[in-house]
Amino acid sequence: MRWDNTTLFVDDDPADRAFRAEVRDWVAAHVPTELCSRSTRIDPPELKPWHRQLHERGWIAPHWPKEFGGMGATLTQQIILFEEISRVGAPTPYPHGLNFIGPLIIEVGTPAQKEKHLPPILTGETTWCQGYSEVGAGSDLASLQARAVLDGDHFVVNGHKVWTTNGHFADWMFALLRTDPDAKPKHAGISMLLIDLKSPGVTVRPIETIKGDAEFAEEFFVDVRVPRENLLGPLNEGWRVANKLLGSERFTTGHPRNAAVLLNKAREVAELTGTSRAPGFLQKLASLEIDLLAFSAYYRHAASLHGRGRAPASMAPVIKIVGGELGQRASELLVEAAGPFGPQVDDLGIGNHAVNPAAEMFEMRRVTVGSGAVEIQRNIIAKRVLGLPS
């Protein structure tokens, strides 16, 4: 058996093995090579043709039920799709529509919401963003202050959202807003609204990241009128609605593949620069590969339990912590492997493709902070899993 850190374990189920082979062949024939292993960000508009291709093949929403245009696939099949797409360095579609709001609408949305929003998410026609964070509400998300006040048939929204991935490309935002300022505890007065970002009173401003691109944005809402039928789930139960997501979404955002791809880049770059001859590099690489192997095993174990409806409470925070920290360590090794080229702004050419170690590393800073910092995840495990006292 040859060592390949992107496919560490054999699929248990013969049907899964066959599915993997089918996906691998199709991806090889259809992958948009110009988007593969790109060191610069691929913004949503550029991703649309690839999104559409996956949609036409019927593979864009493996986890959605068949009646809504999905595959009704097992979690393992979803993971296989994700793995085989990212294996060749191709981008996977952004998760905000397909993995976040889509499943929420399917679960708690009205028939009208389903009819209006689900088809364009599948085709890639609409781009979604998540309006959760505010300047004063990061790790302490329940402190959010942006208001939605019911006025007849509409909510009137005022406030500010920030760190919104793809906010400046998005057509729609699913937002957590305060609808009852007096509620105790504070997360009891929050609702989820679907907001058309073309509405009057919305101003969107991109924010340049540490990496140097505009990955996210901030949005200002001044007396924005949102139809009442855009309330997702019951009034003042937005917190509960949002929490339905935590879990399966982690299977794509925290996939071990992210670290595997970075480690393979580190290996290539080390060959180029000669760092591969340094004993310290080999030691770090081996330790990281071993931790990656353990995380891959955990990940598959968790997916198998999740598929049986028996995933433990620790699963989502563990995947978030380990996936993030491992990816980060791998990206740091990539920069170290680059030696004197590490801090350079330009790409490094390796054969027919390019790597940008510093950019890769900067991008990985997000993963231990975004959607719940790893410290918060540790608090969750301490309290809810280990039963440690307050």
> Which residues bind to another protein, rule: CB under 8 A?
1-3, 5, 9-10, 282-283, 285-287, 289-291, 293-295, 297-298, 300-302, 304-305, 308, 310, 312, 314-315, 318, 321-322, 375, 378-379, 381-382, 385-390
Contacts of 65 (CB under 8 A, 6+ apart): 72, 106
**Are the C-beta atoms of residues 226 and 154 closer than 8 Å to each other?**
yes
Nearer to another protein, 172 or 295 (CB): 295
Least CB distance to another protein at residue 306 (A): 10
Long-range contacts of 46-54 (CB under 8 A, 24+ apart): 47/91, 47/93, 47/94, 47/124, 48/124, 50/90, 50/91, 50/93, 51/93, 51/123, 51/124, 52/123, 52/124, 54/93
Considering the complex, state which of residue 210 and residue 297 has its C-beta at the smaller distance from another protein: 297
Tokens representing residue 107 in the block:
């679960």
Nearer to another protein, 144 or 321 (CB): 321
Type of residue numbered 307:
G
Find, among 292, 315, 290, the residue nearest to 302 by Cα: 315
Closest approach of Cβ 341 to another protein, in Å? 21
Rounded distance between C-alpha atoms, residue 365 and residue 48, angstroms:
26
In sequence order, what are the residues at sequence separation of 6 or more whose Cβ sits closer than 8 angstroms to the Cβ of residue 287? none
107 is catalytic: no
Instruction: Considering the complex, state which of residue 80 and residue 148 has its C-beta at the smaller distance from another protein.
Output: 80
Write out 156-179 in H/E/C secondary structure.
EEEEEEEEEECCCCCCEEEEEEEC
Supply the minimum distance, in Å, between the C-beta of residue 282 and another protein. Answer: 5
From the candidates 215, 249, 332, 363, which is the catalytic residue?
Answer: 249
Instruction: Please name the residues in contact with 351: beta carbons below 8 A apart, sequence gap of 6 or more.
Output: none
- Shortest distance in whole angstroms from residue 369 CB to another protein: 16
Neighbours of 223 (CB within 10 A): 11
Count of H-run helices and E-run strands, the chain: 13, 10
Find all residues with CB under 8 Å of 184, minimum gap 6, and list them: none
Q: How far is the CB of 265 from another protein (least distance, A)?
A: 15
DSSP letter string over 312-380? -TTHHHHHHHHHHHHHHHHHHHHHHHTGGGTT-SSPEEETTEEE-HHHHHHHHHGGGTTTS-HHHHHHH
Minimum gap (Å) between residue 140 Cβ and another protein: 15
Minimum CB–partner distance for residue 71 and another protein (Å): 23
Residue type, 95: P
Residue labelled with tokens 């942006």: 146
Residue placing its CB nearer to another protein in the complex, 42 or 305 = 305
Nearer to another protein, 66 or 308 (CB): 308
Report the interhelical angle of 315-337 vs 279-307 (nearest 10°). Answer: 160
CA angle 240, 94, 353 (to 5 degrees): 150
- Our CB check for another protein shows the closer of 56 and 271 to be 271
**Spatial distance between the Cα atoms of 197 and 166, rounded to a whole number of angstroms:** 12
Whichever of 291 and 347 has its CB closer to another protein, that residue is 291
Tell me how far, at minimum, the Cβ of 111 lies from another protein, in Å: 38
- Residue 155 β-bridge partners: 150, 226
Catalytic residues: 249
